[in-house]
Structure formats: C-alpha cells, structure tokens
Chain A
Amino acid sequence: MEPILKGRNLVKRYGKVTALDHCDFDLYPGEILAVIGDNGAGKSTLIKAVSGAVVPDEGTVTLEGKEVRFSSPIEARDAGIETVYQTLAMSPALSITDNMFMGRELRMPGVMGKWFRKLDKPAMEKFAREKLSELGLMTIQNINQAVETLSGGQRQGVAVARAAAFGSKVIILDEPTAALGVKESRKVLELIQDVKSRGIPIILISHNMPHVFEVADRIHVHRLGKRLCVIDPKDYTMSDAVAFMTGAKEAPEAA
C-alpha cells in the first residue's frame, strides 16, 4: 500500500542546530500513527515540515502520490491537512465561533452575503455548538465568549473540534490531551477513533504512553532528528518504546 503522506530525506537546520537529519516519514491511509520521542528530538519540526508551517531545507513531501511543497499552513490546509498545534493557534480576544471559522468563514446566502459580504453568524454558531457537543465540551456555556475566558482544557477542546470538523485527508494532533481533564481526554481519544472510522488518517504526537498505546496502529519513534524505527504497539511494551526513544535500548532492525 502506498502512503497517503510521505516524507523523504527531510532536513531542517536552524543555524547550527540540526532539527531534522535526513528523516523519513510514512503515514498510511486510515491509520493512526503515533510519533513519540524525547524533548528536542525534532518531532515538532517534523510535523511542521509536513504541515507547511516550516519549509524543509532538503527532501520531499508527497501527498497521495503527488509531490507537494507547502509554503504555508494555509496551503496544507487547502490540500486537506488540518493541524492542531501545541500553541493551539487561537486568537484570545475573539469568540469560539470566530476562532473555529478563522480563514474559512461562512457568508450569508443571497444579497447580504454576496454584496455586503455579511457573515452567517447563526449558521456558524450552530455548527460550532454541534462540534463542541460532539466532543463532550459541555462546560462551555456561551459559544460567543472570548477564547481567553476559557480554561486551558476547553481551549484545547475547541482547537481539536476545529481540526476534526474540517480535516479531509490528514489530521495532525500535537499533544492533544496534554492539558485536558480525564473526561475531555477520553472524549478526544474517542474522537480520534471516530475520525479514523471515517477513513481519515491521524498523526498523533504525544508523551502520554497509555494514550499512544491505546489508539495507535503504528508508532514512529523519533530520535536525534530522524526516524529510529517504527513499531507495532501489539509487539512491544510501553517500557520498550521509552527505552528506544531515550536510547536505553537498541532499536529493532528495519521499520
């Protein structure tokens, strides 16, 4: 089977620091691929390189067999790759609805939308409320409250809901459960399974081993700027995975 999203020989240097060192990357259709690695291993840079936030110095990224060169996240998004960044990429002073539809706002039908470019706020609010309810984010009382008035977990929930609502080919989640409570974490994991059942593959970056082992089909272990190995969570234990990524144990041959 051909990978839906493929990175080959990716290199990214920041001055004298090498973040990606001839790194390969494969995401197959319909799978959940977890990416794990120590802090500073280059996970985030790898994700940015395939999602358009960073342009790699060398190497190629291929989406559905066609080579792509994203020079911005907008291009990646237009190609169907939706990302939840660790920083969440939300505007604190704007409302939940504004944030969910940032860059893809809905306009009113008819003259008001066409000539006065008026936003269809009722439709956007309804959609946003639905998506949050699907995620079980019931503690959000007012869909028009500013994002800065939400708790950290609620903000994360809104960001995940946004990606899940709009991602069509690949969804990338960078530490999606890091700030969430038990219930919200569970909902996010369920959501991940749900998105997978719709046939959309997911890249999950996480330090939470129980979560990784629960949902991932394959685990990409990142170490020192490259792919160390890819393991099947059914064949290895969590301690094995941690040992590989920290260098405590020799990695298995071949991916």
Chain B
Amino acid sequence: MASDRTNDNYESALSGASTDVASFEYHKKGFVGRLHDLLHTNPALVPLIVLVAAIIIFGIALGSKFFSPFALTLILQQVQIVGVLAAAQSLIILTAGIDLSVGAMAVISSVIMGQFTFRYGLPAPMAVAAGLAIGTAIGALNGWLVSRVKLPPFIVTLGMWQIVLAANYLFSRNETIRAQDIEANAPFLHFMGYKFQIGGATFTLGVLVMILLVLLLAYVLRNTAWGRHVYAVGDDPEAAQLAGVDVHKTLMSVYMLVGFICALAGWVMIGRFGSVSPSASTGMMGNIQSITAVVIGGISLFGGRGSILGAFFGALIVGVFELGLRMAGADPQWTFLLIGALIIAAVSVDQWIRKVSA
C-alpha cells in the first residue's frame, strides 16, 4: 500500500486539466469594492472628484462671482507657477525621490534670464536659453549625486536648495529688475505673461504651457518606454536594473528634465510677476507648494504610483481653495488649515489604495 502511494504518478492527472483562460461569474463587490478597483487603476480620480466637488461647493456658496469664466481662469493664472513646478516634482516623486530645490532652481533661472539680458547685454532669447540650460545643469548635478554618489534625494536637494538660493542672491547682488525696464528693453522675457481672451476667460501663455506640459508628460509617462522605466525605477530599482532598465540613465534624465522644467517655471515667473527678483517667494515656498500639489494629487511618496494629471488637479485644488475662501472673506489661515487636512486625507487614501494587491 505505502509503496503504491509513493509511486503514485500524481502528475498524470494533469492530462485532463482545463486549457481555458480562467473566467469567473461576475461578482458583485459592492460600492466600496468597485470604488477601490477604480481608484487602483485610475489614481487621478480622487483629486479630480475633490476638485469638481470644491468648484461646485464654492460655486453654490459664492454664486456667479466665483463661478465665472473670469474667476475660474484666474485660478489657472494663479497656479501656473506651482502647476509647472508640480509637474517637475511629480517626476522626481515617481522615482521615489523628492526635490526640495525646485523653487530655488526656478528663481535662479529667472534671475539668470534677467541678468544675462540686462547686465551682459545678451539678446533676450539667448538669455532665456541660457537660463534653461543652467536649470538643466543644476538638475543634472542633483541627478548625478543621487544616482552615482547614491546620496538620498532629500539630502542632496536640501543642500542644493540652500546652495542655489544663496548663489542666486550673490549673483544678482540682490538687485531686482523692474517690470518697466523689462517691458521697454526685453519684452521677450515677458513672453509667458502674454494674455489672450476667449469669451470672458483670460489665459496667459504660461497657463497654456502648463497645460500642454502636463498633457505631454502624461502621454510620455503612459505611452513610451522611458515613462514605463520611470515607474519601474520608482517601484523597485533593483528589479528594474535586473530586468534590463538602465536605472542610472533613467534617473539622470529625470533630474535633468526636472531642472529644465523648473527653469521653464522661472520664465513663467517673469511673465506672471513682471519683474525679476532674487527674493521671489517661489524660492522658499516652491518646494513645499509643489509637494503639496503632488501629494493631494495622489502620487505616492514611495514612488512608482500615481499620475501626473493628479498632481495638476492637486495644484488646482489648492488654487480653488485659496481663491474661493478669499472671495468668501475668510481668514487666509483657513486655507492652510484645509490644505493640511487634505494632505493627510490624500495620504490615507493612498495607503488604502495600495492595500489592494497581495
């Protein structure tokens, strides 16, 4: 008996095994279950729902004062700098990094664009190109320190934030270039501030650039090999390396692109503020604002998860809250309080979504 049992050729039973792709009867998961599935595959939905809800609530409460093409496009103009920075920040956070130097890179790039024109007499387009190039170079330095020297992104960019901001003051000698001078001598620097009307809505080229940038990055991240590599590197860099992704090259390209986008944000800043100032608040606040937008947008700080559209919605949510509460005459501190609550809520939702799997 015992030997019969041990000699049993159990694998022969496989001959009759099913060869169809498994399919199951549709199983009602209930509302929570389906919502969970939906969010797992479309992480940008949460911020989109919050954004739409916020617009509706403020629209009802404030009426046509808020719910008008003018006010709604005013929000776009107010978030254009943070929106561009958030697009950059999203890329870094998708690779499981964080960039504290985005605002500083934007400010120094705007200062370089201004000073190269006014101090060195370069034609404005060349000065803009120089600003974009130097932004990219700072990004490359960040990327090299993270990828080759293997320092934590938080530390690298914490240091770079201070270095770049200080260099910015030293180089500009703390001088502001006045808007009138730019308007008279180098209007090209104001290019991103060029306004045009569609109906009652006012757009600037900066807003247009922000929207196109987000759409372009969304396409690239979803539909190109490079985009998939960014996610893979953020998800599990060792697995990505073994599977054949050049992790170093991917990280370098991400950090350089982020430097470039931040410099672009610097150009948008000149259009928005009119003047070029080394002490623009973006230098100190740009990093926190962009991280806030990214987190509210549902991009996981652990990397590899989330959509750049979410970060864009996140930036808009902040803009809607700021304008809506200001129009309602509330103390501005309410904005910060609500944004803070939103950040914590967004991360809780992220944790819930991640629980899906296993």
Interface residues of A (CB under 8 A from B): 53, 72-74, 77, 83, 85, 87-94, 98-99, 102-105, 107, 116-119, 121, 133, 136, 138-141, 146, 148-149, 182-183, 186
Contacts and interface: CB of A to CB of B under 8 A. Distances in A.
B241 A72 contact: yes
A91 B356 contact: no
B225 A105 contact: yes
A141 B22 contact: yes
B23 interface: yes
Interface in B57-100: none
Given A102-B245, A105-B228, 15 more contacts: A89-B243, A90-B236, A92-B235, A92-B357, A99-B243, A102-B232, A107-B225, A116-B219, A118-B223, A121-B223, A138-B22, A139-B22, A141-B22, A141-B24, A183-B17
B224 A118 contact: yes
A91 B240 CA distance: 7
Contacts of B25: none
Contact of B244 (A98, A103, A148, A149): A103
B353 to A, nearest CB: 11
B242 A89 contact: yes
Q: Report, as a range, how many residues of chain B touch the other chain.
A: 35 or more
B246 interface: yes
Contacts of A138: 18-22
Contacts of B220: 117
B242 A73 contact: yes
9 contacts: A98-B228, A102-B240, A116-B223, A138-B21, A139-B22, A140-B21, A141-B21, A183-B14, A186-B14
Contacts of B223: 116-119, 121
Nearest to A82: B244
Interface string B214-255: 000001100111101101100110111111111000000000
Contact of A53 (B20, B224, B228, B242): B242
Nearest to B305: A93
Nearest to A74: B244
B244 A77 contact: yes
B76 to A, nearest CB: 27
Nearest to A148: B357
A239 B46 CA distance: 59
Given A149-B356, A182-B14, A183-B14, A93 B304 contact: yes
A91 B243 contact: yes
Contact of B224 (A94, A119, A140, A148): A119
Report which residue of A89, A116, A117, A141 has the largest number of chain B beta carbons within 10 angstroms of its beta carbon: A89
B358 interface: yes
A100 to B, nearest CB: 9
Contacts of A72: 241
Contacts of A148: 356-358
In the complex, which of the residues B11, B240, B242 has the most CB atoms of chain A within 10 Å of its own CB atom? B242
Contacts of B242: 53, 73, 83, 85, 87, 89
Given A141-B21, A186-B14, A93 B231 contact: yes
B240 A117 contact: no
A186 B11 contact: yes
Given A77-B244, A89-B243, A118-B224, A149 B357 contact: yes
Contacts of B228: 94, 98, 102, 105, 119
Interface string B13-38: 01001111111100000000000000
B232 A91 contact: yes
B225 A73 contact: no
A146 B356 CA distance: 11
B240 to A, nearest CB: 6
Contacts of A105: 225, 228
Contacts of B356: 148-149
B233 to A, nearest CB: 9
B235 A117 contact: no
Contacts of A117: 220, 223-226
B10 interface: yes
A186 to B, nearest CB: 5
| B220, B228, B304 — most chain A CB neighbours (10 Å) | B228
B63 to A, nearest CB: 43
Nearest to A73: B242
A182 B22 contact: no
Contacts of B304: 91, 93-94
Contact of A73 (B19, B219, B229, B244): B244
Contacts of A99: 243
Contacts of B246: 74, 103
Nearest to B20: A138
B330 to A, nearest CB: 39
